[in-house]
Amino acid sequence: MSEIAFKTVFIKTFQKAFLIAFTTAFITAFITAFITALLKAFKTLNKARK
């Protein structure tokens, strides 16, 4: 019985850790893409002004 409980806790912990890692990676990628887009927009605006 304790072995099954241990496996359940282990699986739930693993799923939580995986979800957190996936979310962190997704947010990091989103922020990186957003900053890259902003920098490109600023460069385009600077070229248009000159």
pLDDT confidence of 50, banded at 50, 70, 90? Answer: confident
Report the Cα 40 to chain-centroid distance in Å.
22
pLDDT at 1: 64
> Residue 12: what pLDDT?
96
Q: How far apart are CA 40 and CA 28, in angstroms?
A: 18
What length is written for the chain?
Answer: 50
Reported as a pLDDT band with limits 50, 70 and 90, residue 2 is confident
**Over 80: is that where the pLDDT of 16 sits?**
yes
pLDDT digits (tens, 9 = 90+) for 20-48: 999 999 999 999 999 999 999 999 999 88
3-state helix, strand, coil in the chain (%, to 5): 95, 0, 5
In the chain, what are the domain boundaries? 1-50
